[in-house]
Structures are given as C-alpha cells and as structure tokens.
Chain A
Amino acid sequence: MTVQGDAFDVVIIGGGVLGCAVAARLSSTTASVVLLEAEADVAEHASKGNAGVAVSYYGAPGLQQTDLINASNPLWEELTERLDVPFRRIGGLMIALTSDEEDHLPATLDEIRACGVQADLFTAAQALDREPLINAHVRAAVSMPAEGIIDPMRLTVAYANLAAANGVQVRLSERVVAMEYDGEFTRIVTDRGSVRARFVVNAAGVAAGAISALASGEPLTCFPRKGQYILLDRSFGSQLSSIVFSTHTPTTKGSNVVPTTHGSVLLGPTAQDITDADDRSTDAETLDSILEKAARLVPATKDADRIKVFAANRPAGDEAHRLRMDRVVPNLLHVTDRSAGVSISPAAADLALQLLWQSGLDAADDPAATVRLPTLRRLRTDPHPETLTDVDPLYGQVVCACEHVSAAEIQAALSGPVPATSIDGIRKRTGAAYGRCQGSLCMAGLSFLTAMATHTGPSDVHQTARGTVGS
C-alpha cells in the first residue's frame, strides 16, 4: 500500500524494545511505517534499565505473555546473530535457602513445567556444582537451562536500525499530544507536527495508559514501577556463570544476581510502585537492601567492586500484559507488557503484524527487505584482534580504556541508521564509559566525538538523551 505525504499505513508510538521490535517486523513488509519516540533516543527508560534477561519462564501458564515467551525463547540464537546483539544462553538457578523456600520449590517447578519450560530440580550438591559461587547453605534449586542473558540496549537499537534500514521513519524527540480518528485515518498531533496513519500501535510503555486515553481507547491502567540496580565489576563477573534467582514467593519474584553480556553483574531489581514516571532516583536504604539480598544468594557479591547504581521504571498495571486490538477504537493496537518486554519482543512483533493483518492492514511481506544487520567487530571481544586494523585503522585507537572500545566502534555508533546523538547514546551502543572508571578517562573524548557528529559545541553536547554537558 502506498500512502502519500504525511500519511502512513502504521504509526508506532514508543521507541522502546516493543515499539522497535514491531517496527523491525513491519519493516519487512510493504507497509509504510513511522515510529514516534518522545525521548531523544530509542532504548530509553525500561528498555535501557532492565536486568537483560531473556527469560524462559516468567508468569503463570495459560497467559498470552507466557505463550509469547515460549514462542520467543527458541529464536534468540538465530535472531541475535542476525541482528549483531550479544546473547548467551547461560541458564538460571532458582535457589532455596530456607525450609520455607525449599517447600515452595516443587510448586514453582510444577508451574514452570506447566508453562512448557524445561526445568530440573537440583540437590544442593548439584546446584553448587553448577554455580560454585552460590550460598553454600543452599538446600535445593530449580535449574532453568533455557534462560539467557542479552544486551537489551543493543537489542532495541538493533530493532530500530533494522527498521530504519528498511525505510521506517524513526522520529525522535517527538511527543504525541493529541489523536483523532476519522473512521479511516488517525491524525496524530505531536509537539513538532503531525502525521496520519491507518493504524496506531501503542507501545508507549509506562505512558501506554495515557496514549490509550489520547486515542479515546479503552482504559488502560499503567503506572511506573521503579527498580533499583547495582552493577558490579567484570573482575567479579568473570567468575559467575549462571543467573541466580531467589525463590519466588506468592508476593514477589525477589532480587536476582545476573551476569551481563558485558561481563559485569547486575544486582536487582527492586519493585516500588510510584506515580512520577520521571522519578529515577536511587536511595541509600534500598541500595543497602539490594546488597543484602544479593549477598544472601551469592555471598561473594559483598566484596566485589561496584561500578554504579541506577533506577529505571518499568510499566506496571492491573494486567500483566495487553497485546490486542482496542475494543473501542478499531485501528488501535496495544502492545504493552509488564516486565517481560525484552523476552516477548520477537513473538510480540509477529503477533502485532498478524493482528494488523486481521484488522485490514493491506501489506505483504517484502522479499526485498533486509532481515540482517552488518556485524560490527568489537575490539574487546574479537577473537582475532590483531587483524582488526586491516579492516579499519581506527580499531587501534582505544577511546574507552576500561571497556576497550575503539574509535571505529564509536564512529559506527555515531553514524548508524539510528545514530547515537549523546554520550549516553554511545554508551548504549558500544559500552564506552560503562566500566569501572565511569568515563573519567574517556568522557571528554566521547563528548568531542559526539560534538563533531552532532555539529554542536562542547557546552551543548548531550551527556544523556535529555541533558547537556554544559548548562
């Protein structure tokens, strides 16, 4: 379908992991698509602030969310290879440390298996054999071998890059302020202009309730659930080989110890329901509690070097998940999820396209579309680093000394289909300034490179998506 001028087949509201996944999927069809993101970069908020786990099990059997996790989980190896995203299926251990927790394990095991997910009951000895760093007082554990770790920022950016490479317009810093449906098109008014589209995809995360209200759709309760995290240094992370979960209780999924694809380790998240989605503050008391819970699972976390703390707000609501057409506004598709956005994203994108087709989207799969992004070799992890400068001499110029990020990788981040426009944007795409010195060696260099790429001065260069280095 060809739509002229400012009119598109589909507008996607939200450049988080779900919005970008849907954009990537639609980009391999003939549909014309525009994605609107209020922030100055994709992969903000919950899509950059999460534990980076591609889960095999999250919720109860029978939920659509569970079906989507099951459909997504086997795809990760192929998909992350195709999109050049770090992923490792390292498996998870849910460990029981008290008799109460031990009593809970069989029920949890039954639920995991009822979801169709592989899980095994481990004795204490088996658990310690799998992950020697867990608390030696472990009584039993559930092993979940299909759990994987993924870089959620690289995943989201890769979805966006693939979409943009196939012609999706990715518009950043453009906030939706009003919507009006005329029976054929929805006119979406933003703070910078307007677009028209036959279909609207609501992938606005924490703001999905507000977007549904603007579209005059069904009520959708969405509120921010704050999670605080502590990041531990790679010198510790290199010793940990499994994700370690606390035993789920009826009230909470607990705190976790999660290796990251960078080699560091994340502790958290906490869960605190708040009202202000922009409140991403950490507090000393909560951070202490994270350390205490983590040390209970993996005692050595106590003495590991800490790199940074951060908080992010994931969408929460009365329902775990809403991925269906609105029942009031016929061209409005909700793609929202509580906590498992990364883990459902491949299958959710497929389902979104099915639902749009069923609702009359006139677009066919486009065999000419690309489904693969070029693989960018990385200095820190490349198996043959001594050959990198043959590809690009800039690989020999190390900008971030902690994470071994070269100027070649930074230039790629600054010039991709959805390029970094801030120091934090480079961090999300390359890991620069993510390490133990937190940019004290490289941030000046990153700000010069960002300033040059964005044609701005040193004072106006963006440190984060929202804020500049100078005032």
Chain B
Amino acid sequence: MTPHAIVVGAGLTGLGCATELASRLPVTLIDRIPVVGGETGWHSPDIQRLAANAESKGVRMLLGATGLRWEQQRLLLASPGSISWIPGSVLFYAGGIRPATAIDVHVSGDRPAGVIPATVALHLLQSGIRLWSHAVVVGASHWAAETAHAIHGYGGTVTAVVTEGSTPGWADRVVTDASDLRVTGRARVDALHCTVSGSAVAIPCDAVILAGPCRPNRNITGALNQGPHNVVFAQPDDDVAGLDRYEHGCRTAQDWIQNQEGLS
C-alpha cells in the first residue's frame, strides 16, 4: 500500500508531527473535538498560524473524529453520524496528557464523591459555577495552578498537597513532602489525610482535585503499548509547555523519518 501517516491529536504536538511528516508522505491529522489546538485551544494565535502552515504543507485535517482501533494498517474512526475505517501505514499518537489517577499517586481510603481529576474540575469550573469552598489540590501540574485560579475566582480557598519538589505559589496553604495520602468521607469527601515528617496531617476539604503528575493518554485499541513497529507515541513525557510541544512533535517525526531512511 502507499505509505500514509495518520496523526491522532491536533494539539501542538500533533501539529508538529503532521507538518514534519507532510514533506515525506501523505498525512491525515485527526482530533476527537472538531477544532485544532487540543489543550492549547483553537483561539491561540500560535495554533492558528501552525494549523495554516500544516494545511499549506498538505496535511489533511479530519476533525471531530475519535480513533478507536488500530489493526492491519487501518484505523477505526468514529464521528457523529459515521463510523468507518481509514487506511494508514503508520500511526502517530499525540493524544494529549492527563493527570495521574488516584492509584497513580497512591491515594487510598474511602471513595466518596468530590474526588475529581483536574481536567474535569477545570472543565466544570470554567462555566463560572461555585462548586467547592475549600479544595485540596494534589500535584503541581499546570492544571493545578489553573484550577486554583478558577476556585480563587469565586472566593474559594485552595490547599496544595505536593509529594515532592517545588512549592507552588498558587495556593493559600501548602503541604509539602506529603506521603500516605488517604481520603475520608462517606457521601462526599470531608478530608485528605497524609503524613508529613512522620506526623499525621488532616486537611478538611470539600473536594480533592487530582492534578498531576502528567500521564500520556492511551486509548486506541491496538496502540496501547510500546511495541507495534508502525505505532509511534509522540506525546511529551513531561509537563512540556507551549511551543516546546510543537518542537517535540517535529522531532518525533524527524527521528522516525531518519529511522525509515536508515532502513531503506
């Protein structure tokens, strides 16, 4: 079959990947939401410039389509009103990052309502609704700062709980070097407990926001693990900011191209 790359994720990383690949082979860039930009947002001037550049290099955009299954050089795509296979010889996955889950950051205890991933908290808070009076934000990703900002916007308070590293400047109170995180609450969360320097600390709260560290999304069946030779994971490992993500995407594509040329 004719070589044809599919890039999943039209954020900065995916745009970098797709643009770089377009000089060598046909590229289709897909995203599950109907606009480019991913987490950066379609309204960003950088995104608009880079998307226009990608299209001028011949990148075909297929937006509002979710990649489901990768098998035998084809990708199952779902979009409103249509589910179909599209052909591709290589899949670049740039499907964004997410905050670590409760088990990723070793939170035990009860499982009440009010323990919420930061991406979800942000999505809900951005509608301007007062959801929580006193939130504990676990982690120090960019989502942590944005969530704290949104909660401060309506007068709520925020306690930051970080297990290691830097002291965030966005919280009303900071608990550092916390270990043994444990949630309590029967219907809704009422406190986050932890150990700091050997002492037990209880932080009363009405929400626990899980805000990091970042983990790469993996959600296409057949492209979940490192291994298949025609799947390339392009997400940055870390909380890489802004245009560095675009560069990361470009480099991932360049490395792959060089590798292909070495093989041929």
Instruction: Identify the A interface with B (CB < 8 A).
Output: 230, 234-235, 278, 280-284, 287, 306-311, 379-380, 385-389, 393-398, 401-402, 404, 406, 435-441, 443-444, 447, 457-459, 462-464, 466-471
Contact = CB atoms under 8 A, between A and B. Distances in A.
10 contacts: A235-B224, A283-B108, A379-B83, A396-B80, A396-B81, A397-B79, A440-B98, A440-B101, A470-B131, A471-B133
B102 interface: yes
Contact of A469 (B83, B95, B116, B210): B116
Interface in B71-103: 76, 78-85, 95, 98-99, 101-103
A281 B110 contact: yes
Interface string B160-180: 000000000000000000001
Interface stretch (B21-29, B55-63, B120-128, B237-245): B120-128
Contacts of B189: 467
Given A385-B68, A401-B219, A438-B102, A281 B124 contact: no
B111 A310 contact: yes
A282 B193 CA distance: 13
B163 to A, nearest CB: 14
B101 A307 contact: yes
A389 B109 CA distance: 42
Q: Which of A282, A307, A308, A393 has the most CB of B within 10 A?
A: A282
Contacts of B112: 464, 466-467
Contacts of A235: 218, 224-225
Interface in B120-157: 120, 123-124, 127, 129-133
Contacts of B80: 393-394, 396-397
A307 B207 contact: no
Contacts of A439: 117, 120
B103 A307 contact: yes
A436 B215 CA distance: 11
Contact of B131 (A386, A394, A436, A471): A471
B113 A458 contact: no
Contacts of B13: none
A205 B84 CA distance: 46
B235 interface: no
A397 B78 contact: yes
B254 interface: no
Contact of A438 (B101, B180, B188, B221): B101
B1 interface: no
Given A402-B219, A447-B124, A471 B132 contact: yes
Nearest to B85: A386
Given A440-B120, A464-B111, 11 more contacts: A280-B111, A309-B102, A393-B81, A396-B78, A397-B78, A401-B219, A439-B120, A447-B120, A467-B114, A469-B131, A471-B133
Given A385-B68, A398-B66, A436-B218, A444 B110 contact: no
Contacts of A467: 112-114, 185, 187-189
A398 B117 contact: no
Given A235-B224, A401-B217, A471-B114, A395 B83 contact: yes
Q: Which of B83, B130, B188, B207 has the most CB of A within 10 A?
A: B83
B117 A284 contact: no
Q: Which of A278, A396, A463 has the most CB of B within 10 A?
A: A396
Contacts of B69: 385
B83 A458 contact: no
Interface string B211-252: 000010111010011000000000000000000000000000
Contact of A471 (B207, B218, B224): B207
Nearest to A235: B224
Contacts of B132: 470-471
A469 B218 contact: no
B103 A398 contact: no
Contact of B116 (A230, A389, A443, A459): A443
Contacts of B130: 459, 470
